[in-house]
Amino acid sequence: MTTADTLRQRHLQLGTWLQTGSPIIAELADASGFDWLLIDLEHGCGTETMVLPQLQAIRRAAAIVRVGAPHPDLIARALDWGAAGIMVPMVSTAEKAEACVRAMQYPPRGDRGLARMVRAYNFGLERETVSPVFFAQIETVEGVKNAHAIAAVEGVDVLFIGPMDLQLNIQSYPQDATLDYAACLREVAAAAKSAGKVCGLLTRQTDDAAALQALGFTHLAIETDITVMREGYRQIIKPLRG
């Protein structure tokens, strides 16, 4: 079973966000035992040129690249470089999800171009085609309302909630929000389950992971490299400052 196939399984799979762009931190996170790692091109410090060195440093975990927007050329490059999957933010309709799938998949399902000499195929030494994992981020009231339709799209594997954006969207457009945040979590989890898909969430160490798992969230990303280092530094400084 490939790492991509494993990520489609409905059991607890722990990840974390890589926002510094550092291959050293990527290598350390990989060695620490996470099941999957997210290279963040939306809000992270790293640029596109820093993706490949991080992918090369990740040898055990499944490497997912979050693009800032569903640009087909960037999605194709990240997959050719060896990413196991792609996360796309603000997937609010089934049509948007379908467009993302087409950018990730080869014909006849999609429009991605095929090159056998790329890193994803061990530079031409391997021939087997692996279908990438698609994390569709649900971050808006509209996305929650369309969660069942998004989950039903062939090629969507994970419904992944962006908690900060979703909570901000609920607060910003109260006239459109028929559900509170907790109810939105339940709605997305139910949509994923009904379609035979999995769901995930970016969490903090202080969040109740057991309660989230009970709701059906199996793909939990715990903190980011920046927040882990920030809290580590603060814990060093605080007692010494009195």
Looking at the DSSP bridge assignments, the partners of residue 219 are 13, 200
Instruction: Please give the C-alpha separations between residue 226 and each of 108, 201, 221, in angstroms, as whole numbers.
Output: 40, 18, 13
Identity of residue 108: P
Question: How far apart, in whole angstroms, are the C-alpha atoms of residue 79 and residue 91?
Answer: 19
Residue 198's Cα: distance from chain center in Å?
12
Q: Which of 43, 71, 148, 219 is catalytic?
A: 43
43 annotated active-site: yes
Q: Tell me which DSSP letter residue 120 carries.
A: G
Distance CA 31, CA 84 (A): 17
The answer to whether 96 and 70 are in contact (CB under 8 A) is: yes
Rounded Cα gap, residues 115 and 69, in angstroms: 23
In whole angstroms, what is the distance from residue 240 CA to residue 75 CA? 46
Instruction: State the amino acid at position 141 in one-letter form.
Output: V
Q: Which residues are catalytic?
A: 43
